[in-house]
Amino acid sequence: MNWKGYIRSQLEEAINSEQTPELKLVRSMHQLHLLKEEVSVTFNYGILNKDYPNPISKPSPILDYDSYIAGEIISEDILKKLKTLNSLVSGLFNNDITEKLKELMEKTDAN
């Protein structure tokens, strides 16, 4: 449940903004809609609780990026547009996680 040191501090603060010893976190999901030129990104992040509205028994941390381009794309541009989408989302993800989480992910991938 403690994301401190794993994700960007602004995200961690939003997730835990109202949590106190008297108020236990049951779910904390947030959504941002972003636009860069022709690319739209929906970013969902937080702690999803599969047992909601019951207390969290197993935290499910979420950093979910969905990107798309509205409108027609000619077939010759599809790969270029996919690379653009992938590059933007990869950049956002890498900006939102810390070196500590990147190292943990590398260790997990190695096993």
**pLDDT 10s digits, 45-80:** 999 999 999 988 888 889 999 999 998 999 999 999
Q: Is 39 exposed, middle or buried (0-12, 13-18, 19+ CB in 10 A)?
A: middle
- Residue 4: inside a domain, yes or no? no
- CA-based nearest residue to 85, from 64, 63, 69: 69
Dist. CA 7–CA 2, nearest whole Å:
10
- Residue 27: inside a domain, yes or no? yes
- Residue 3: inside a domain, yes or no? no
What does the block give as tokens for 83? 């690379």
- Residue 96: inside a domain, yes or no? yes
Cβ pair 5, 99 in contact under 8 A: no
- Residue 74: inside a domain, yes or no? yes
Domain of 78?
Answer: 9-110
Of 109 and 11, more confident: 11
Question: Does position 1 have pLDDT exceeding 70, yes or no?
Answer: no
**pTM listed for this prediction:** 0.85
**Least confident segment among 6-20, 32-46, 71-85, 91-105:** 6-20
- Residue 1: inside a domain, yes or no? no
Question: Does position 98 have pLDDT exceeding 90, yes or no?
Answer: yes
Q: What is the pLDDT of residues 24-50, one digit of tens each?
A: 889 999 999 999 999 999 999 999 999
Torsion of CA 35, 44, 62, 79, to 10 degrees: -40
- Residue 90: inside a domain, yes or no? yes
Cβ pair 66, 38 in contact under 8 A: no
| Domain tally, the chain | 1
Which pLDDT value is given to residue 44?
Answer: 98
Dist. CA 88–CA 72, nearest whole Å:
20
- Residue 25: inside a domain, yes or no? yes
Question: Does position 16 have pLDDT exceeding 90, yes or no?
Answer: no
